């Protein structure tokens, strides 16, 4: 009975849980379409926003772009909020899923237990359980789990208590799952209410925006009406301006005659200036020749000094390589000593009785000979020291010659700077520029006369004209602009003459004659202009070639001088190494000779005394004492030998340190001079390029100023006045082109003005 009651209670709980899950699923399905709608609406809004953004980018100013950026930021914020809502809903669904899974597990466990019990009890218990379940389910206040009955029957049936504890745990899990489901459902309801409120607020805001937009549309319609009226007035004003322009163009035809006369005067002035420039170029050529001649003399003198230094070095090398006569004498004396030793040995063998006396005499002679040899070695060391002093003096002389060479190089650089100082004044007037060009031309002539292979300077000046020079292109552009303006004026004059043909036929013929005359004059001026351009191009190319030749010569001289200095340094270092090796080898040979002499003398004396001992000529005690005395005397070092050798080595060490410091100083000085030469050469190149650019710019400025003097001030005044009054961007652009052509702006000035005006018109539009 208890099992049937618990089974019926579990069935009721299962039905309640499934009902809750269906409600939650229905709520989710109700919410998901809204989410789908929001996602679809958001995607539609995103597509429309991107299209709108692309269209606005083509015709939007800076302010509109900023507004679109702000709108996109708002859309991003909204989408982030929606994503947060979706994440929260997903977390709630996960919690519901976990609760449902727990409840399903509990129910499945209960179902398994019931199936086992039903199998045990059989079909009779099943029928009774079903009847009781129906009866107990019909009771409104009955206990679904039969807890009271279970308590009454607790003492009688022991397995029913375990079943009750299991059922209680299942009920707890089911109640926990129900709580989670109810909490999630309450959260969904709260989110639904919040979404509803937000939608209401958005609806109200949209209604307000619609009202404001309708007001803006009304104001824009009013503004459009006012603007149309203004445009009509402007069109009427422009028509009047066009009529005035026709009258002005008629006046311009008269002013062209004046311009032609002024251009003739300008041509004459240009011819005079060309002559002055040619004279200045000759002077500059002369100056360049003078500088080159000075440099040649200085380089020849430097080469002579270097040749003298090299001869001195060679003589010193030959002296050091030749063997000294003292060494030859020492070798002879060594051979004589060997002969004497052999004679003494034979005499000692023949005369054993006189061995003691001869040994003493021989010992005294050996000591005297050793003293003489030591004195000679000291003399040799003194001679070697004298040689070293002489070598040090020679090195000082070489250093003095090197200082002289560096001083001459500094003088050369100073002369180059003086020659360069002729072109350092950038802000000079035309007269100063002409004087500089004349000096350069004179320098070039002098250098050509003194050179080994003279060159025809006039041919260089007139050879190799570049047809694609920027100045030529500029003059061609200006000529094309003048032609276009003349054609426009001609067409306008023809239109004016056609209008006035009926009233004044004679005036038309006069104007035609005048136009033909003007055409002929323009052709003549065009030919003159091309001739002048060709002449200027030739002169410019010749000047450029001369400057490049001078730069190349200067670079070659600098490289040659640096190479010579490096070779001299290497030779001096090699000579010092050789001299040091020679002195060391000489000292080693002398020490070996001394050791050999000592060894031979000691061996001979010991052999003599041993022979005496064998013969028994004297007492053993006397012989031993004398032997010890002789060995002490022979082994004793000569007085002052250690001191002389130490002093000599100290002197050599000091000289070596002085030489090393001098060489390091010389190396640093040479590196500094090399850097200075590099800096000066780079500075000279930069100064020459800057001077060329400044001269070109001054020539262009002079040409523009000369051509501007012939411009009509009245026409320029009218054009500027119309430019200031006009509000039409197209008309302003045309007037701006006219102003730039009249005033002859440079290409850089034209580009800067046009870019500024384009930016300003785009901002105003």
- Tell whether pTM > 0.85: no
Of residues 55 and 656, more confidently modeled: 656
Identify which of 87, 149, 99, 253 has the alpha carbon closest to the alpha carbon of residue 712. 253
For residue 606, count CB atoms less than 10 angstroms from its CB and return exposed for 0-12, middle for 13-18, buried for 19 or more.
middle
pLDDT beyond 80 at 488: no
* pLDDT for position 5: 44
Domain extent listing, the chain? 2-234, 250-314+326-405+427-468+505-710, 711-765
pLDDT at residue 501 greater than cutoff 70: no
Contact by Cβ (8 Å): 483, 526? no
**Model confidence at 121: pLDDT above 50:** yes
757 pLDDT band, cuts 50/70/90, is confident
Using an 8 Å Cβ cutoff, are 153 and 163 in contact?
no
Q: Is the pLDDT of residue 205 over 80?
A: yes
Q: What average pLDDT does range 148-168 have in this prediction? A: 55
Helices (H), 122-157: 123-138, 147-152
Angular region, 47: left φ>0, alpha ψ -120 to 50, beta rest: alpha
Task: Return phi, psi of residue 451, to 5°.
Answer: -75, 160
Confidence band, pLDDT 50/70/90 cuts, at residue 291:
low
**Band of the pLDDT at 638, cuts 50, 70, 90?**
very low
Q: Is the pLDDT of residue 479 over 50?
A: yes
Contact 99, 177 (CB under 8 A): yes
Closest CA to 31 of 80, 106, 82: 82
Q: What are phi and psi of 565, to 5 degrees?
A: -60, -45
Lowest pLDDT segment from 197-201, 373-377, 581-585, 606-610: 606-610
């Amino acid at each position: 009975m208890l099992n049937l009651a618990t089974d019926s209670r579990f069935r009721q709980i299962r039905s309640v849980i499934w009902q809750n899950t269906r409600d939650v699923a229905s709520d989710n399905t109700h919410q998901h379409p809204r989410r789908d709608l929001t996602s679809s609406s958001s995607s539609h809004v995103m597509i429309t926003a991107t299209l709108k953004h692309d269209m606005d980018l083509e015709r939007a100013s800076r302010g509109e772009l900023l507004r679109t950026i702000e709108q996109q930021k708002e859309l991003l914020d909204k989408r982030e909020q929606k994503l947060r809502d979706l994440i929260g809903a997903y977390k709630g669904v996960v919690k519901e899923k976990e609760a449902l899974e727990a409840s399903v597990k509990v129910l499945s466990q209960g179902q398994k237990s019931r199936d086992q019990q039903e199998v045990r009890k059989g079909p009779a218990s099943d029928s009774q359980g079903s009847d009781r379940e129906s009866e107990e389910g019909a009771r409104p206040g009955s206990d679904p789990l039969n807890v009271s009955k279970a308590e009454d029957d607790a003492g009688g049936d022991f397995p029913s208590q375990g079943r009750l504890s299991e059922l209680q745990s299942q009920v707890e899990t089911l109640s926990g799952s129900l709580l989670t489901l109810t909490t999630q459902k309450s959260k969904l309801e709260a989110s639904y209410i919040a979404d509803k409120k937000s939608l209401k607020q958005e609806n109200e805001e949209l209604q307000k925006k619609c009202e404001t937009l309708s007001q803006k549309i009304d104001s824009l319609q009013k503004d459009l009406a006012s603007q149309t009226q203004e445009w009509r007035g402007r069109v009427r004003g422009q028509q009047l301006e066009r009529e005035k322009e026709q009258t002005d163009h008629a006046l311009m035809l008269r002013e062209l005659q004046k311009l032609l006369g002024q251009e003739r005067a300008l041509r004459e002035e240009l011819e005079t200036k060309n002559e002055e420039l040619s004279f200045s170029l000759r002077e500059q050529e002369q100056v360049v020749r003078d500088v080159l001649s000075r440099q040649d003399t200085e380089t020849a003198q430097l080469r002579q000094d270097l040749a003298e230094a090299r001869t001195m070095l060679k003589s010193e090398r030959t002296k050091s390589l030749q063997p000294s006569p003292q060494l030859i004498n020492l070798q002879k004396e060594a051979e004589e000593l060997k002969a004497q030793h052999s004679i003494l040995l034979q005499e000692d063998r023949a005369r054993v009785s006189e061995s003691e006396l001869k040994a003493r005499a021989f010992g005294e002679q050996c000591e005297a000979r050793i003293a003489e040899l030591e004195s000679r070695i000291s003399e040799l060391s003194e001679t070697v020291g004298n040689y070293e002093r002489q070598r040090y003096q020679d090195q000082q002389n070489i250093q003095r010659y090197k200082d002289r060479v560096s001083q001459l190089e500094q003088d050369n650089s100073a002369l180059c700077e003086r020659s360069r100082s002729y072109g350092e004044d950038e802000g000079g007037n035309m007269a100063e520029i002409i004087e500089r060009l004349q000096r350069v031309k004179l320098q070039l002539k002098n250098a050509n006369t003194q050179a080994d292979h003279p060159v025809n300077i006039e041919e260089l000046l007139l050879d190799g004209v570049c047809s694609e020079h920027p100045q030529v292109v500029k003059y061609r552009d200006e000529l094309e602009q003048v032609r276009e303006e003349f054609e426009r004026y001609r067409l306008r004059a023809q239109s004016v003459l056609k209008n006035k043909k009926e009233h004044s036929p004679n005036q038309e013929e006069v104007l035609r004659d005048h136009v033909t005359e003007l055409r002929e004059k323009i052709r003549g001026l065009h030919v003159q202009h091309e001739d002048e351009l060709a002449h200027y191009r030739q002169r410019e190319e010749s000047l450029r070639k001369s400057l490049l030749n001078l730069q190349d010569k200067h670079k070659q001289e600098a490289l040659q001088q640096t190479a010579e200095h490096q070779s001299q340094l290497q030779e001096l270092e090699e000579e010092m190494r050789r001299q040091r090796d020679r002195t060391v080898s000489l000292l080693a040979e002398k020490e070996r000779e001394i050791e050999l002499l000592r060894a031979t003398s000691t061996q001979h004396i010991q052999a003599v005394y041993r022979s005496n001992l064998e013969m028994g000529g004297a007492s053993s005690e006397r012989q031993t004492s004398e032997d010890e005395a002789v060995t002490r005397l022979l082994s004793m070092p000569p007085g002052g030998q250690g001191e002389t050798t130490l002093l000599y080595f100290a002197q050599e060490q000091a000289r070596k340190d002085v030489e090393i410091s001098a060489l390091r100083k010389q190396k640093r000085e040479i590196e500094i001079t090399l850097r200075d030469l590099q800096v000066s050469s780079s500075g000279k190149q930069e100064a020459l390029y800057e001077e060329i650019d400044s001269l070109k710019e001054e020539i262009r400025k002079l040409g523009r100023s000369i051509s501007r003097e012939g411009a009509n001030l009245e026409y320029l005044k009218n054009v500027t006045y119309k430019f200031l009054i006009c509000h039409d961007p197209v008309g302003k652009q045309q007037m701006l082109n006219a102003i730039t052509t009249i005033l002859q702006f440079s290409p850089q000035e034209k580009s800067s003005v046009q870019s500024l005006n384009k930016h300003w018109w785009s901002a105003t539009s």
